[in-house]
Structure 1
Amino acid sequence: MDKTASQPARRTLLLGGALLVGVIILFALGKLGIMPSEKALNTWMETVAGSPWGLPTIILVFCVAAFLGVPQFALIAAAVAVFGPWLGFAYAWIANMFSGSLAFWLGRLAGEQMFRRYAGATANRLSTFVGRNAFATSALIRNVPTGPAVMVNMAFGVSSAKYSNFALGMALGILPKIALIAFAGQSLFAAMKGNPGLAILAAFIAAAIYAAIALYARTRMGPKGQSVPLIRDNPVDTGPKQDD
């Protein structure tokens, strides 16, 4: 085998491995409480509430928090609490798109071999949720319990899914989750202002929207095979074999 020709491929594997290992280390440190906590991230957002830096800050917080294993519900709730139901809804949606896209492209850069090597069990489990097309799967998987969001999005990057289909599915799929929290936040604010009727209505709308989407997602996300392969079993070509 030509060693010179194999060097770019080897460097790509090493870079991909380093990226994936870094993601896993950050995730582990976040779960162990060594990295910034949810409270610290919320404080960052509160310091820029009402300023032009609000949106860039929440995007940064969502991107960092995704790799620390902070639950998306907590991040969205913080955005709604800091910026209000409507602005918080918009900011959380935009920040989710940035965060998910970052993980997607990191997965694509890392490559299938490295993702399979360092996240094998997770990757194989996630592969059962990859349905007949990237758009529908990317939309529905947001509303069913799977793995950490960062691993889900990286798995799409590793797959042959087109980014446009992934992004459009994510853009629509995250709306119910954000709407649930935003309407719930509106319900809380209405209750605090002495308007129980509006509070009950907002809470009911939030629960109905999320329940309907989640139920539909569960019925569609059964193991139907996959047209967007995550883990392929094709043997790796190691070049022509030499006769004994």
Structure 2
Amino acid sequence: MSDPLPTSPAAEQPARRAMLLGGVLLALVLGVFALGKLGVLPDGAALDSWMEGMGDSPWGLPALIVVFCAAAFFGMPQFALIALAVAVFGPWTGAAYAWIATMASGALTFWVGRLAGEEMFRRYAGRTANRMAGFIGRNAFVASAVVRNVPTGPPLMVNMAFGVSRAGFLPYWAGMAIGIVPKILLIAFAGRSLIAALAGNPVTAIATALAGVAVYAAVAVWMRRRDERQRQSVALIGKDQVDNAAGSAE
């Protein structure tokens, strides 16, 4: 039996980031609870009513997709975009809409990279081009899932790098569909906890926030360790073919 792989500092990054997010989220929940009690913010019932009205709009999802796609080219952080969806449509509807909009944005930026080609991508990405290429392993599905939960670079650069590479679109998109879930769930849990804080339920708010952080940390750490066992960097465009299967052998 082989010895377990040692935990590297890189593998610990998602856990540290989750702890930091947990601390920030806890402080935010307590702050919202205090402001709600002072009457500075609307109560939970008013917020729920407003979000239900927004969620019923037939143009809500198409508008959000346009916002996500446009924002990708301006470098707006995905956390902010997902938080916007959760704030407007509520935790669970917002999470579902954010997932759909992220998938649409990911498809667009992948094909922008594919059509632009390596030369234009390197000119646009600058020094980050090689670093982006280093996160595309021989298995497109696994790499696309893992890269969503490790510090690499702007989503636009990451997705364009997949497009420039030999990665197939469907394996890339399938990996992305799974990889973006932890981040979206974290923000959805955060939104639910803030609503609970506004409703005057600090215990529920804190428990929900901590549950979201725990889910995010567990999935992110697992993905990072899997990536470290399997990663083999390849050139953006070269002789080596990218494995476009929906998984990889252990």
1:204 aligns with 2:210: yes
The 2-side partners of 1:114 and 1:148 are apart by 17
Q: Is the 8 A contact 2:107 2:173 kept in 1?
A: yes
Q: Quick one: which of 166, 173, 183 aligns to 2:179?
A: 173
Distance 1:226 1:57, change over 3 A: same
Which residue of the partner structure matches residue 139 of structure 2? 133
Give the 3-state SS of the residue equivalent to 1:205 in structure 2.
Answer: helix
For 1:107, give the aligned amino acid. Answer: G
Q: How many residues align?
A: 188
Q: Please report the TM-score for the alignment, with normalisation by the length of structure 1.
A: 0.72
Larger CA Rg, structure 1 vs 2: 1
Aligned to 1:58: 64
Q: Which residue of 1 aligns with 2:225?
A: 219
User: For residues 172 and 111 of structure 1, what CA distance do their matches in structure 2 show?
Assistant: 26
| TM-fit CA distance, 1:195 | 1.9
Q: Which amino acid aligns with 1:226?
A: S
The code of the aligned residue for 2:97 comes to Y
Aligned residue in 2 for 1:146: 152
User: Contact 1:48 / 1:57 at 8 angstroms: preserved in 2?
Assistant: no
2:128 alignment counterpart: 122
CA distance in 2, matches of 1:206, 1:130: 28
Q: Distance in 1 between matches of 2:219 and 2:200?
A: 30
2:115 alignment partner AA = L
- The SS at the match of 1:99 is helix
Flag the structure with more relative contact order, 1 or 2, with Cα contacts below 8 A and sequence separation at least 6: 2
* Structure 1, gaps ≥5 residues long: 1-45, 235-244
Separation in 2, partners of 1:196, 1:116: 49
Residues 65-107 of structure 1 show CA distances to partners (whole Å, capped at 9, x for unaligned) of: 1101100000000110110001100100000000010000010
Deviation sequence 1:140-160 (CA, Å, 0-9, x none):
100011111011001000011
SS at match of 1:190: helix
Q: 2:102 aligns with which of 90, 93, 96?
A: 96
Name structure 2 gaps, 5 residues minimum. Answer: 1-50, 241-250
Deviation at 1:175, TM superposition (A): 0.4
- What is the distance in 2 between the residues matched to 1:202 and 1:129? 32
Q: Deviations over 1:92-135 (max 9, x none)?
A: 00000000100000100111232234324222001111123000
SS in 1 for 2:175: helix
Percent identity, aligned pairs only, is 62
Q: Which residue of 2 aligns with 1:40?
A: none
CA distance in 1, matches of 2:129, 2:174: 22
Paired with 1:185 and 1:203, the residues of 2 have a C-alpha distance of 8
Matched residue, 1:31: none
Q: Deviations over 1:196-216 (max 9, x none)?
A: 232122112100111112212
Q: Distance in 2 between matches of 1:212 and 1:193?
A: 29
Work out the CA distance in 1 between the residues paired with 2:189 and 2:153. 25
State the TM-score, normalized to the length of structure 2. Answer: 0.70
The answer to whether the Cα contact below 8 Å between 1:123 and 1:231 also exists between their aligned partners in 2 is no
What SS class does the counterpart of residue 111 from structure 1 fall into?
helix
Residue identity matched to 1:113: E
Q: 1:157 to 1:140 in 2, by over 3 A?
A: same
